[in-house]
Amino acid sequence: MKTSRRIIHIDMDCFYAAVEMRERPELANRPLAVGGASGRGVLTTCNYAAREFGVRSAMPVFKARELCPQLVIVPVRFELYRAASKAVRLVFARYTDMVEPLSLDEAYLDVSHLKRSGSEIAQEIRAAILSETELTASAGIGPNKLIAKIASDWNKPNGQCVVAPSKVDLFMSELSVRRIWGVGPKSSVRLAKHGIKTCAQLQTRDKAWLAKEFGSFGLELYDLCRGIDERPVEANRIRKSLSNEQTFTKNLETLEDCREALNRQHRELVEDLRKNAPDRKIAKLLVKLKFSDFRRTTAEMSGPLAELTSFHKLLEDAWGRSGEPIRLLGIGVRFKESEGGSEQLELGL
């Protein structure tokens, strides 16, 4: 039986770049990106003027500059973005306690208990955000989290889209399978080999076929391609992991170079744990490497303490799988599952 909910997904428009343009109005009409300014860095986000040139988030800086030579790149300033995010969340709190932040720039809101329409509430929230922070937001309104999140991208920037329960079937049937949560490039290629590119086409496959092709995720796909999503909005969700990573301007050629870099990142990780998760119990330690040929590898071990010696062992294990120079190094911890939360590790593993 489908649960009756009204969910709003708020997604700030090019958030980091928008905050930078607010602070420096002279950049507002110029192609702008936030991220590492060196040729070896990657972009965290970019404004819409930059996107017109094909520049995208997570794109290497050298590629972005090839596409847009006049691109202005500014460094990341997380404290500034956190302050803006806090102001946005104060707006959310006026409407509902059921708020599930996904990151600094997006969140789900359950407004099922309010008597007014979700569209009206979303419009008010977006207007308040603009008035109080000078930033724009887009919104999706639907009967569940899946529909709301997809809809929030429909009329970007500074727009909103409502999908009423009676319109879900039509909305989903015309949708690309790539829009479904969990369907990435590899899954979409596998589906395309079977002639499946839209949700309507995916709906023709039964649960047995989906389970055979995709395991337990196939059973989820059966519901998701029909717009069925029973996940509740989880207020005060506890994060599942903590990590940091660095892309180097010059490749690290030796294991000793990697050790020195890891030592610095370990100090940052320990400080983050002290400030942001002092009471959390650690379940696993992880090290991620990206080699000069862009191949990636991850090493992990169980352990209750974020000890430097343990990370060094993981580094040696990961390094030994290739021996190629290192372009990126990341380290992190996963917290015990019993403490809740489902946030993905920031290392992108």
Residues with active-site annotation: 106
Distance (Å, whole) CA 7 – CA 104: 19
Neighbouring C-alpha atoms within 13 Å toward the C-beta of 258: 28
